[in-house]
Structure 1
């Protein structure tokens, strides 16, 4: 008894060095990518991104990692054991791409106002945090209501499109120094069966080679690196309640993006907790999920527009005997880099596209794991759920191309698009609310595969409602607009067909075929 009373958790294990390096590079690659996309691709002022957004990201990552370190310590003391591994934590990959390309980017392209784009992104993250907190109470209900194949299919579709496909386009846009690192990652990924190479840090090697080629070919220059040092200083996170309040004025059109993305986000946290439980670390589910949402909301209050999440991978780090020390290293190191302006130096030192290869790999990995864990009968559900998200990316490309030509979408008619065989209305209908359409469509189709036709009809009714209020297929939230009436009516007809089919053919109806 006396020994137990004096138990002291040894929170640094032999695997914490590996975990610190792996999780830091994974998480910080997202920060570098976000910074590069906002400044280089979107053209947002570096002062706004480096001085306001990045410090908020660092604070959010620190707070979350401190919490999950605390949870690991509490669990270790409760069970009197040292082999407790904390939950890996950081910016969510699919949330990062969704916020960049579907919220912040469109606002900035339409208005040219970086402050407004950031404000809307912050308000969206704040609302997203609320959704995460509600997930702590509703997560189990959603898991039991929406088929797992639909949830995982929607997540895999999002990862494939917004991480892998978007990343591939960026990489092949800079083939001289980005394509070789991509193939280093792909070859390592496909060759994992060869255990002799399992310990080679291919991600680090890929980035180093891409960086070396970029410097050798003049894509990165000493002058730009010298200029980046002028940004070094102290950038403390600043409270931005007014920014969030201003952003709420423009947030409504983005609710169809925020809600399904954050449902996937808190479900990812739930899955991370489940995987930790299977590995022997049982954390309080609701509290952990709520604190994930609190981290997102707190980050938004201090300038971070990107939702945070628990990462997959806890069992792997536990197998290496990582405990909780990596959480402290990751949190404090991110905060230090994010608040000192060193992010700009790293961007001038390392090409964004070379870092993007890691996110491409994450997209492929998530999709591959989804297919491996699914029954083959659901493969079509996953593939079909990818279509709305793919069209959402096409919609973004078309809108950006029109704006690059100095025009607006409103200035180009459907007839002008049709003259070049561009079915713009179809692209827009499928792209508007694509994430939510994907989730609901996957739910409906998964129920059809399982011959649960009445439940599939319920999903069709929800789609009819969402169309009627403008959350899917419409330009914005509005009651019974033209597209909303059309698609709402169609989905009602689909629901009627499914309910009728369920009455005659659903197992247990007494009237089976």
Structure 2
């Protein structure tokens, strides 16, 4: 009998809501910043950027639906889950605050900021494609525990921590939905008589309470229809050409951000593999780059990527249906102006409860999959990313007060026992430093001191060029020189240790983890 893949599973409703609102909450924030902070004309933001986002995410989700369907047919399995896909949080904030924002603040030209953002995305897309050809090599030199630990740390912080903060910020209508998720998904309570997915119950309950308590109102809902129209994607080749004239100063920002981006895709593929769905990392990384390039050509300045969370959605029973739903939902909403209508109907915080579960699930699966000896690897990888979140909170808080961290000064923070300098050192380049520190520790755990020393050298190089611990990429920034020298000393010590204990490691029990993936 010919195999037929049933692409809609019991968890696809929850995954559709969770992945959609995770992505759209970022898009709404970016739209507000571009319209009301940068002062970009509505015809650029709503007429070019938002439709371009819709087209890029439509194309990418269609691909990942096809990829999951092909894998299911190849292996004759029904429980194949597609990889979640959208715009990465770090890429969106990086493009807004490190590329487009500075252009606007220096020139006052919102259109130029848009054009340089598009040119940056086009270059970033090619960097992602390049990542597809070096991804397997990266997997071969970076320990699996470091990759998974870095991914789990990002998921627990940027999904669970951020989500829980948002829920407790609006406890009246968001806390009960959270406890539904805690009881049914985290606690795995008996649901034999429950036919409706718990995630859908949580969202509907949160929306009902928000409407009943007046947080959502009919007036806001009806006013959201005022922006409805038809916004087809527009080819932006001329805009990109103009943007290239001012792109050079931003190359040191674009390249590291996109290296982080294709590493995120690589980690997403690795997490899917650990959950039982083996996708080719090269193909996934190339397709991410292609969707970024396509989006930039049609107005989207923000790079796309595979999201964290595949194991969580798989645990809920999702297959590939959520990719198809999100593909058409993004296209429809981004081309018609329905974004505001949707957010006026369902509160974002009520949907965040699903992302809290995904972050916790990814982290729990990481600990379950890895040997216990790598627990400290995961915990070490958490520290820079956690401090990156703290850094973001502090920066946002002082901006809300009408000032900046630099204006306040480190000495003033020290008076209140806030080690702001240390927080900034850890937060700058946190994704990369988290990965490299975890890799160094993983090699030490396996008694592979020469490999660990090499990671010390990589940490030193990244410090010397400002990719970690520094505010921006530059050759020999003062703080980078300090950290670089320290990392070189660490590397030298590990090299000496490797020579002293050469041969003894071979007599030990073989490692449960090999850095090389066949």
TM bin (shorter chain): 0.7 to 0.9
- Aligned partner of residue 88 in structure 2, secondary structure: helix
In the alignment, structure 1 residue 37 sits paired with structure 2 residue 29: yes
Q: Is the 8 A contact 1:50 1:343 kept in 2?
A: no
Is residue 101 of structure 2 the alignment partner of residue 104 of structure 1? no
Distance in 1 between residues matched to 2:280 and 2:254, nearest whole Å = 32
Correspondence list, 1:206-355, <5 A: 206-241=202-237, 242=239, 245=244, 249-250=249-250, 252-253=252-253, 255-269=255-269, 271-272=271-272, 286-304=282-300, 305-309=302-306, 313=310, 328-355=324-351
- Report deviation, 1:226: 0.9
Q: CA deviation at 1:157?
A: 0.7
8 Å CA contact 1:458–1:495 kept in 2: the answer is yes
Q: Quick one: which of 186, 190, 193 aligns to 1:194?
A: 190
Q: CA deviation at 1:329?
A: 4.6
Alignment equivalent of 1:149, drawn from 145, 168, 175: 145
Q: C-alpha distance in 2, partners of 1:476/1:121?
A: 18
CA contact (8 A) 1:292 1:310 kept: no
Match of 1:470 among 466, 472, 496: 466
2:175: which partner in 1?
Answer: 179
Unmatched runs of 5 consecutive residues or more in structure 2 = 509-518
The alignment's TM-score, normalised by the length of structure 1, stands at 0.84
Count of residues paired in the alignment: 495
- Distance between the aligned counterparts of 1:319 and 1:218, measured in 2? 32
Shift in Å, 1:471: 0.7
Q: Structure 1 pair 165/270, CA: closer, same or farther in 2 (3 Å)?
A: closer
* Distance in 2 separating the partners of 1:417 and 1:76: 55
TM value normalised by structure 2: 0.83
Change in CA separation of 1:356 and 1:370 when aligned onto 2, cut-off 3 Å? same
Q: Which residue matches 2:426?
A: 430
Q: How far, CA to CA, are the matches of 1:87 and 1:503 in structure 2?
A: 46
Question: SS of the counterpart of 1:218?
Answer: coil
Give how far 1:415 is off.
Answer: 1.4
Task: Provide the C-alpha distance between the structure 1 equivalents of 2:132 and 2:387, rounded to a whole number of angstroms.
Answer: 31
The answer on whether the counterparts of 1:433 and 1:474 sit within 8 Å (CA) in structure 2 is yes
Give 1:108 shift.
Answer: 7.4
Displacement after TM superposition at 1:138 (Å): 1.8
SS in 1 for 2:179: helix
1:21 equivalenced with 2:13 (yes/no): yes
1:331: how far off? 2.3
Which among 129, 133, 148 is matched to residue 125 of structure 2?
129
Mind listing any 5+ residue stretches in structure 1 that lack a counterpart? Answer: none
Deviations 1:92-139 (A, max 9, x none): 5xx633234454356677767776776676556545433432232222
The CA RMSD over aligned residues, in Å, is 3.6
Aligned ranges 1:361-372 → 2 under 5 Å: 361-372=357-368
Partners of 1:28 and 1:277 in 2: CA distance: 22
